[in-house]
Amino acid sequence: MDARDSRPSPDALLKAATRDNGRGRLKIFLGAAPGVGKTYEMLATAQARRREGVDVVVGIVETHGRGETGALLAGLEVLPRRRIEYKGRMLEEMDLDALLARRPALALVDELAHSNVPGSRHPKRYLDVEELLAAGIDVHTTLNIQHVESLNDVVARITRIRVRETVPDSVLDTADDIEVIDLSPEDLLGRLREGKVYVAQTARRALNHYFSPGNLTALRELALRRTAQRVDAQLLDHMQQHAIAGPWAAGDRVLICVTRHSLGPAVVRYGRRMADRLRAPWTALHVETGATLRLPAAARDRIAETLRLAESLGAVAVTIPGRDAAEEILDYARANNFTHLVIGNPGPSRLKWRRPAAQRLIEAAGAIAVHVVGTDTAAAEMRPDRSGRVRIGGFRWTPYGGSTAFVAAAVAVGMALQSFLAAPSISLAFLTAVLGAAAVWGLLPSLYASLLSVLAYNFFFLPPLYTFTIADPENVVALVFFSIAAVIAGNLAAAVRAQAVAARTRARTTDALYQFSRKLAAIATLDDLLWAAAYQVAAMLNVRVVLLLPDGEGLAVGAGYPPEDQLDEADLAAARWTWQHDRPAGRGADTLPGARRLFLPLRTGRGPVAVLGIESDRPAPWLSPEQRRLLDALADQIAVSIERITLAEDVDRARLEAETERLRAALLTSISHDLRTPLASIIGAAGSLERYHDRLDEAARRDLVRTVQEEAERLSRFVANLLDMTRLEAGALAPRREPVELSEAVGAALSRAAKLLAGHDITLDLPPDLPPVLLDVVLFEQALLNVLDNAGKYAPPGTQVTLRASAEPARQEVRLQVIDAGPGIAPEALGHVFDKFYRAPDTDRRRAGTGLGLAIARGFIAAMGGRMEAANRTDRSGAVFTFVLKAAAGR
């Protein structure tokens, strides 16, 4: 066994470690249809576990009135259900919080695909189960096969009924245990007729539609097959975790071997027919060796076409690097539990000493069955030259000329050293030449250098000199061993070179993909993303690129490299077909091949998001297997990035709409309350004056006039605040800043706020040596007036309102604080006091205001280059609003 076979798979160990990190175990009782006894079997298992001493709690179980099922609840702890009101009705759901608080060892949760009542924590019950598992609680649950997402369409075609409640396939894939609850169609139909599944009327309708014998048979097969897939995956995980060399023939798996000799699609088609006969999954594998890298473009294109054919027929196409194709194929087959290998046999090798890969696979396969597709079948689709053999590569003189130069240099070095060294030591110079030829040009030039080195060494350094005759038998032995060493060294150096070339190529590709992913992560706009994506694809694949995005009913060019903004009708038709059908179209594809470009859909889990078109002057097929995989990787990254930006824009748009709606609601609330209140007072006072003027004394009339004036001024402030906020949001505010003495500006604001602060004690603490500040006096007065108005509303009458200023010369700033003795700002409101229309939750609604005053004050101060801060007093209750203003230069 190879050393690699004795090591567990890191991915499998990581998956096992993730599963064993305190997460609960999930067991699914899977049935083909309702009524097969899933809930009954789950309760029976729970009763057995309870008798074993396991703490079992029923989260939710639906008996549907079945007496024998309900009887199994006896002795089990059943949690009360949570009642939720929805559209005037009281509905019951599983109480997830109570179950988490109870924390049993095993929870029973029936009907995994159930949709929860709106208002529940999770929209689906399987998400409740995920939370229970994450909390370390084992869960037993039930599920019918028609509720599995990937089988939803299949079930709909079979039964002509589409099930709306589904669960993702990942739920089944991550389940620790799946128990199929099976019942023959005849027995299930008998239960239906006896009323053990549905009530009589519902049972008759079900018998006439869903529960036909053919439907039930098909659903049984679906359930068994889906469970078999999960069991097969569990078996493979177990083998990889424990480094067990396969195959374990518990189920058939077919591996198609695509080598550089068996390029024919006939091998793939044979493998597809075998997989269909065995009803087994199948994979097409290509091992990329040093010899593969030396193939001409046409041969590499044929490999790419073969892998694409396998993918189109339903296989998983895999390419792995390696040194020897046969060894890598067997390692991969054993590691992934393949039971059948299919390989083409191109006939006897021209190199008689080298056995074909098919023969070596047969000898080393062990328990794996090897199927060899005959020469006539596999080689019929290859392109032979006149000799009947496939040409592996074109002849180039440069490697052989270079190898000759290396050997000539070795001769020169040997001539210079022969007076100091013996002939056997000089042979090392020729070994260096052989290794250099192998490292630079590969195997065949190194073999040529080996032969040339043997001849030159014999001719120049073995007596008799300058002949190919060898007089001393010891020199004959030395020359033979030198020849063997040269050939072996050349082969090893060539193999290392091939692997290094492949590693460098993959490293460059991986690094380019990594850098591209980092670039995409930093891009915030769609235009920049499209341009960067087009440039990257064009640079890495040497093609011309165009990206198209949906635009109304059609597609529009989003970006191109080189810049391209027009497509001909054939290209547009191919692009539209790709978008509509989510499949490739255009040049080299099966659909609309007359287009100049090949169009690929860029899709994510939500569906297609864009279309990528590429064009090249190279003849088709013009994408190698590596390039196609690279293109797929780039396309996936671009699609995810487009979706990320689109989702971010959708979130921003939704946030903006929500904020707009909130502001609209707040504005309407303010208008309906805070603006209507002064209007009502004005109307009431004016009406009293008009109707009862003669009956009122002078004092009453003055009081009503004063009310009209005060409420009109209050209304004027409200309207001014609304207009000021409109100016701020529209960016129409252009402050005229000039040096102003802070004491003068504060005095003007206090004069305007005299009525607002009539019941408060005003204290000024303004040092006389304060530097002038850069202000727009009008805007500053309004901002300070709003803050003073806020203090007058919330500070109780008779309390002190202090205005304190201080200079900070190091920062060239002046700080002005407005300190009141009110209740202060609630901790949760500190971050929102400057928000538009924000009113603290505990605000007394009798205090008039629109929630705009502080927002406008901060906007005005920010427009003048300053800032505002809000905090609570530390010595007692009360709020502190701080104006941070820019000091004028020169003081």
- Give the pLDDT confidence of 318-372 residue by residue, as tens digits: 888 777 788 888 888 887 778 888 888 765 555 444 567 777 888 888 778 888 8
User: For residue 486, what pLDDT band results from cuts at 50, 70 and 90?
Assistant: low
Determine whether 175 is exposed, middle or buried from the number of CB atoms within 10 Å of its CB (0-12, 13-18, 19+): buried
Say if CB 883 and CB 773 are below 8 A apart: no
Query: What values do phi and psi take at 106, rounded to 5?
Result: -140, 130
Q: Which of 94-103, 155-164, 449-458, 784-793 has the lowest mean pLDDT?
A: 155-164
286, β-bridge pairs: 319
Bond before 621 cis per omega within 30 degrees:
yes
Q: Which residue has the higher pLDDT, 880 or 172?
A: 880
pLDDT higher than threshold 50 for residue 384:
no
Q: What is the pLDDT of residue 805?
A: 93
pTM: 0.40
Q: What is the pLDDT of residue 385?
A: 40
Say if CB 205 and CB 44 are below 8 A apart: no
pLDDT higher than threshold 80 for residue 287:
yes
Q: What is the pLDDT of residue 249?
A: 45
- Which helix (H) or strand (E) segment holds residue 195: the answer is none
Q: Which of 46-50, 147-151, 186-190, 428-432 has the lowest mean pLDDT?
A: 186-190
39, 77, 99, 238, 397 from 175: Cα distances, Å: 17, 25, 20, 15, 61
Q: Which residue has the higher pLDDT, 44 or 67?
A: 44
- Which helix (H) or strand (E) segment holds residue 100: the answer is helix 96-102
- Give the pLDDT confidence of 602-622 residue by residue, as tens digits: 887 777 888 888 888 776 556
Q: Which residue has the higher pLDDT, 670 or 546?
A: 546
Query: pLDDT exceeding 90 applies to what percent of the chain?
Result: 8
As a whole number, mean pLDDT of residues 215-226 equals 62
Three-class SS of 354-377? CCCHHHHHHHHCCCCEEEEECHHH
Q: What is the pLDDT of residue 211?
A: 53
163-172, 482-491, 708-717, 742-751, range with greatest mean pLDDT:
742-751
- Give the pLDDT confidence of 717-755 residue by residue, as tens digits: 667 666 665 665 555 566 788 898 988 889 888 887 887
- Give the pLDDT confidence of 576-607 residue by residue, as tens digits: 888 888 888 887 777 777 778 888 888 877 77
Q: Which residue has the higher pLDDT, 828 or 185?
A: 828
Query: pLDDT exceeding 70 applies to what percent of the chain?
Result: 71
pLDDT higher than threshold 60 for residue 236:
no
User: For residue 806, what pLDDT band results from cuts at 50, 70 and 90?
Assistant: very high
What's the one-letter identity of residue 511? D
**Which letter does DSSP use for residue 27 in this model?**
E
User: For residue 12, what pLDDT band results from cuts at 50, 70 and 90?
Assistant: low
Q: What is the pLDDT of residue 595?
A: 77
Structure tokens at 60: 């939710």
As a whole number, mean pLDDT of residues 489-516 equals 70
Widest pairwise Cα distance in the chain: 152
d(CA 854, CA 558): 44
User: For residue 388, what pLDDT band results from cuts at 50, 70 and 90?
Assistant: very low
Strands, sheet with 879-886, edge to edge from the N-terminal-most edge strand: 761-765, 800-808, 813-819, 879-886, 867-872
136-145, 377-386, 857-866, range with greatest mean pLDDT:
136-145
Q: What is the pLDDT of residue 844?
A: 47
User: For residue 55, what pLDDT band results from cuts at 50, 70 and 90?
Assistant: very high
pLDDT higher than threshold 50 for residue 383:
no
Q: What is the pLDDT of residue 804?
A: 92
- Give the pLDDT confidence of 620-650 residue by residue, as tens digits: 556 766 677 778 888 888 888 888 888 887 7
* H helix intervals, 139-264: 152-159, 169-174, 185-193, 200-208, 213-241
Mean pLDDT in the chain? 76
pLDDT higher than threshold 80 for residue 469:
no
Q: Which residue has the higher pLDDT, 851 or 790?
A: 790
Q: Which of 226-240, 352-366, 420-434, 676-690 has the lowest mean pLDDT?
A: 226-240
Interhelix angle 698-730/676-691, rounded to 10 degrees, is 150
pLDDT higher than threshold 80 for residue 235:
no
pLDDT higher than threshold 60 for residue 300:
yes
**Which letter does DSSP use for residue 887 in this model?**
B
Strands 369-373 and 177-181: unpaired
Q: What is the pLDDT of residue 667?
A: 57
pLDDT higher than threshold 90 for residue 105:
yes
298-312, 461-475, 587-601, 857-871, range with greatest mean pLDDT:
857-871
